[in-house]
Amino acid sequence: MRGSDSDALKKMAAIEAAKLVQSGQIAGLGSGSTCKFLLEELGRRAKNGLEFFGIPTSRETKKLAKEQGLKVLPAEKAEKIDIAIDGADEIDPELNLIKGYGGALLREKVVASKAGIFVVIADESKMVKRLGKKGILPIEISKDSYPGIIDALKDFKPALRNVNGKPFITDSGNFILDLNTGKTDLSYAERRLKKTSGVLETGLFILMASHAIIGTKRGVMHLRPKNAHYEAINHGNVS
């Protein structure tokens, strides 16, 4: 899929998802290329009277939200988030996700876990039959624990994420390791990783998304967990 085609599908999904945010709500604002379109649409709606507070999942999202004139709050200021909308790197038919290719997975998971409704948006290329298709599972780790974690997880062939030859540092001041999942059972991997000292969070978002909005060449599709097929819906109202 060409970049322009992918962007068109992402924009379709983002515009549809923006309809779900209502005045008076607190909304989690995700990170990544699809969420840029979401912020633009929410900015347009805000100019037409939509009033809500956004909880950014990254510094970049905060910057973009402010550029759109949106009101933002830090996650710690919100005991409950009405709705969170975020992208994903992989989405399976149960709406389980792999996230973190953009490096904001810890903050994204904190916001998603606080949300009454967690909606994932993406283009159709992110749909997979089984998580792990791309073979990469990001995890966020404490910098101080790096040497020990590398040894403890050596069977996952962990690779320290780098940018311009230097370790990538998350907004929370941590490292990202990209694990080679191969044919590993990801449920087992999640349990093992959670028990590994220094692992702060994984990119597995299991049983968290309540709704997915997917941009496809056939139009915008809405999915619910346990739907192994697309269900066409003509507008953004959640039934």
Catalytic residues: 108
Contact 196, 163 (CB under 8 A): no
What one-character DSSP code corresponds to residue 46? H
Query: What DSSP element (H or E) covers 94?
Result: none
Q: Which of 20, 66, 12 is nearest to 39 (CA)?
A: 66
Angle between helices 59-67 and 33-47 (to 10 degrees): 30
- What whole-number distance in Å separates Cα of residue 59 and Cα of residue 37? 16
Contact 13, 223 (CB under 8 A): no
- What whole-number distance in Å separates Cα of residue 176 and Cα of residue 168? 7
Contact 31, 60 (CB under 8 A): yes
Structure-token pair, residue 99? 């996230």
